[in-house]
């Protein structure tokens, strides 16, 4: 399998594995359950928008997917580096949810059109299952640490695909 097949796998596995940590973090910054739910709604609406953005694109071969990875990575890094709760945090979180939603929707639309999509889906479910069992034995340092690490991983994937594509 080439980098073109590995990177989407890393992204999809990582997203699912990091999700529980992200939920814990999001719960911590939500002031009420309503707000927590609204953050998810914002993410979903944005993902639909991102998905549609890709689908309506005429030239589907000319996609800078590397920048989508880097964008998602930056969101996770920001999330991981927000040290503590402060008054304006919900406003920032809402913006992050929208950006993440758009990027994820866009990525999902692109991914589902790839040749290796079927194989990657099967593999990603299996890998996630084993990973989550493994992670359950790890004492949580802080959700933010895992989220930030994943952010850096995504940025790495983005740069790698950018370099490979250029070369």
Partner 1 sequence: MQKIKDLFKKTWFLGCLVIIFATSVLWNIPIEKRKYGLSESSLVTDYTGLLPERVVRVVKAADRQELQKIAKQANESGQRISVAGLQHSQGGHTYYKDGVVLDMRTYNRILEINELQKTVRVEAGATWEDVQDAILPYGLALKVTQSQSIFTIGGSLSVNGHGRDIRFGPMAGTVKEMTLLTPTGEIKRLTSRGDSEEWMKYVLGGYGLFGVILDVTLELTDNDIYTIHTEKLKTEEYESYFNNLMKDDNAAMHYARVSVAPSSFLDEMYVIDYNHTGKQDRSTSLKGEQGVRLSKLALDLGRHGGGMEDLFWRAQKKYIASIDKKEITRNNAMRSESTFMEFTKPGRVEVLQEYFVPVHSYEEYIKDLKKLLSADDKNDDFKVHNITVRYAAKDNLTSLNYAKEDMLGLVVLIQHGLKEKEIAEATAIIRDWTDLTLKYDGTYYLPYYRYQTKEQFKASYPDWEKFRTEKLKRDSNEVFQNLFYDHYIK
Q: How far is the CB of 98 from partner 1 (least distance, A)?
A: 6
Using the minimum distance from each CB to partner 1, give the nearer residue, 54 or 150.
54
Q: Which of 1, 23, 31, 145 binds partner 1 (CB under 8 A)?
A: 31
- Of 21, 27, 52, nearest to 39 (Cα)? 27
Q: Which of 3, 38, 117, 159 binds partner 1 (CB under 8 A)?
A: 38
Which residues contact residue 127 at a Cβ distance below 8 angstroms, ignoring those fewer than 6 apart? Answer: 9, 13
Q: Which residue has the tokens 């040290």?
A: 83
Q: How far is the CB of 51 from partner 1 (least distance, A)?
A: 8
53 binds partner 1 (CB under 8 A): yes
Calpha distance 31→38 (Å, rounded): 11
Calpha distance 16→102 (Å, rounded): 17
The site that binds partner 1 (CB under 8 A) totals a number of residues, namely 25
**H-assigned helices in 82-167:** 89-112, 117-135, 143-166
Calpha distance 1→98 (Å, rounded): 33
112 binds partner 1 (CB under 8 A): no
Q: Which of 87, 130, 136, 139 binds partner 1 (CB under 8 A)?
A: 87
Q: How far is the CB of 88 from partner 1 (least distance, A)?
A: 7
CA 139 remoteness from chain centre: 23
Which residues inside 91-110 make contact with partner 1, applying CB under 8 A? 91, 94, 98, 101-102
Extract the tokens encoding 24. Answer: 């814990």
Which residues inside 56-85 make contact with partner 1, applying CB under 8 A? 56, 84-85
> Interface residues with partner 1 (CB under 8 A)?
31-32, 35, 38-39, 41-42, 45-46, 48-49, 52-53, 56, 84-88, 90-91, 94, 98, 101-102
């Amino acid at each position: 399998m080439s980098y073109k097949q590995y990177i989407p796998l890393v992204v999809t596995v990582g997203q699912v594995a990091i999700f529980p940590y992200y939920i814990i973090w999001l719960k911590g910054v939500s002031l009420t359950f309503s707000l927590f739910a609204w953050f998810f709604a914002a993410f979903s609406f944005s993902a639909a928008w991102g998905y549609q953005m890709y689908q309506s694109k005429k030239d589907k071969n000319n996609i800078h997917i590397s920048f989508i990875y880097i964008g998602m990575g930056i969101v996770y890094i920001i999330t991981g580096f927000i040290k503590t709760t402060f008054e304006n945090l919900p406003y920032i979180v809402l913006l992050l949810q929208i950006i993440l939603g758009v990027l994820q929707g866009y990525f999902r639309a692109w991914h589902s059109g790839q040749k290796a999509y079927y194989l990657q889906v099967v593999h990603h479910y299996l890998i996630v299952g084993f990973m989550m069992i493994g992670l359950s034995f790890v004492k949580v340092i802080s959700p933010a640490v895992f989220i930030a690490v994943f952010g850096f991983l995504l940025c790495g994937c983005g740069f790698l695909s950018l370099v490979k594509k250029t070369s």
